[in-house]
Structures are given as C-alpha cells and as structure tokens.
Amino acid sequence: MSAGGDDRPAIGGPAELLAFAYRLEADAEERYAMLADQMEVHNNPDVAALFRKLAAIEGKHAAEIAERLAGIGAPTPGLFEVEWPGVEGPETVDFGDAHYLMTPWHALKLALKAEQRAFAFFDGVARTAENAEVRAAAEAFAAEEEEHVRLVERELDRHRSPDESWSFDPDPAGSGSAP
Ligand code: ZN
C-alpha cells in the first residue's frame, strides 16, 4: 500500500504525521515510566531519574501534539489506531529485552536504540514525504529525537559497560550505535 514499497507507512498529510508522532511520544512516555519503575526496583535511582526525565519530555511532546491535533479538528489516536510497520511504534523500548535489564548500561542501550529508531522514522519521513508541510514538521520532530539520542549517549558515557559477569548483550552486532 505504501508508495515507496518499503516498510514505512505512507504519510499523506500533516494530520497523519501528527497522529503517528502522538502515538510515538505517548507510547515512549509509558515505556520510560515503566523502565523508571524497574530501575527503582533494581535500586538504580540515578537511572530511574533519567527515565523519569525522558518520560516527562515525551509526555510533554505528546500533550503538545494532542493540542495541535485538536487545533486542526483531528482526533487523538488511541493505542491501536495507527498502523506501524512493525508491531510497536519505532520509539518503543523492546520489553522482550527489558526484563533482562539488571544494569543502567543495559537500560540505556535499549533507550538509545529506541531514540535512534524514532529519529530514523521522522528523518525518513522528512526525506521522502511529498507534502512540504509534512516534510517540515518531520524535520522538526527528527531534530527533537536527535536531541534525545544525544541525551542518552551522554548518560551512557557516564555508565561504562558492565563487567564480564554479564553475558546478555542487547546489541550483539554493535549495529549502528557507533557515532
Ligand atoms: Zn524521543
């Protein structure tokens, strides 16, 4: 169905982009809040605080986007009302991996991947959308996600990789996480 024939959903107009962006931010907020809970359980208060901060950032974005949707008379999409190429949104942290999380480093690696996927999603839309308004809005969203990537990267710098007693690697191929 999508024009390019790839796995990216076709985004025809600004309302559609905002609907995707809303779900992306709202889902991310929820997942970061859950990760924060998990870090608290594992007694990692500083990383819990980072995830609370990320949840707040994403939640603020979601609220702003909901306002923009209301402003153009479009509904705020519910959980299953946008069709992502995969099962979950591009910014969603994979909880199949997350239940293994025992260190801040692991949690941050997952967060980094989620933010990188979110950036790639908006960047892809910005490059390929035919509608100029959609391209401009996608560029702005991509820039925000790039900031989130940097925020998580800075935090990763402060939390060195775990010692050899940890065998679980959320990113075994080292795929694309190097600058
Ligand atoms: Zn983000």
Cα(165) to centroid(ligand 1), Å: 31
Kindly give, in sequence order, each residue whose CB lies less than 8 Å from that of residue 68, ignoring residues fewer than 6 positions away: 18
User: Is the predicted pLDDT of residue 127 greater than 90, yes or no?
Assistant: yes
Tally: H helices and E strands in the chain: 5, 0
What is the tens place of the pLDDT at every residue in 42-52? 777 877 888 89
| Ligand 1 center–CA 52 separation, angstroms | 13
What distance separates the 2 farthest-apart alpha carbons in the chain?
54
Strand, coil or helix: 48 = helix
Q: Measure 134 CA to ligand 1 centroid, in angstroms.
A: 19
DSSP state of 167: -
Mean pLDDT of 98-120: 78
User: What is the reported pTM?
Assistant: 0.73
Distance 54 CA to ligand 1 centre (A): 8
Residue labelled with tokens 């608290």? 40
Hey, what are 138's tokens? 């996608």
In the reported structure, the alpha carbon of residue 149 is separated from the centroid of ligand 1 by a whole-number distance in angstroms of: 7
CA of 162 to the centre of ligand 1 (A): 25
Q: Provide DSSP, 132-167.
A: HHHHHHHHHHHHHHHHHHHHHHHHHHHSPPP-TT--
- Per-residue pLDDT band for 81 (boundaries 50, 70, 90) equals low
C-alpha of residue 147 to centroid of ligand 1, in Å? 8
Least confident of 15-29, 89-103, 120-134, 141-155: 89-103
